[in-house]
Amino acid sequence: MAFKWIVYHCSNAEFILKIDDDVFVDLNQLFYHLLGKFGDRPSNLLACFLVQQPKVARSYRNKWRVSFKEYSNYYYPNYCSGWISIMSFDVVQDLYTLHRNRSFLWIDDVFVTGILAEELAIKHYDLNKMIYGEENEFLIESWLQQDSLSIPPMFYLDHQKPRIKKIWTKTKQYYRVILNFTID
């Protein structure tokens, strides 16, 4: 578990960001958003794309099937979709400590950011409204086509690497021209 490494090697980290490789993140925007919302040393922070009121899959045809023996409830607690989560160090430490004394559920997102987080009374901060994805692809295409520079998306989930590269290129241009700030 990466949490063990974080607990032993990153105790001074303000935020821990876990992200998949098909997600674009404007770290500058994210950092300032988190600072404005939670301050410079947040505690009890678990921010993510929140899956709410998720029903447990019981069908034998479903690859996410979980038996009643594995998990007896009909619904999981709200949990973070695995492609992005941001945590304060204390949350990582608490989740790591608690997981060692619990029976593991093989769906790790549900287990760690749902079941364990619920047991620790950690409230999720939902990032859904800040995330662009395939359902609002037209907004990203429109932003990419504009000649004028406007603020980039904070997050974008897409399995098309060329588009993420285009978003990154325009984001760098935005910071260089508008804010006189260079990022690579």
Q: What is the pLDDT of residues 5-55, one digit of tens each?
A: 999 999 999 889 999 888 899 999 999 999 999 988 889 999 999 999 999
CA 148 to chain centre: 29
pLDDT value of residue 14: 85
pLDDT value of residue 16: 95
**Residue 13 three-state SS:** coil
Contacts for 126-129: CB closer than 8 Å, 24+ residues apart: 126/47, 126/48, 126/49, 126/50, 127/47, 127/48, 127/49, 127/50, 127/84, 127/86, 127/155, 128/49, 128/50
Q: Give pTM, 2 decimals.
A: 0.86
pLDDT value of residue 135: 73
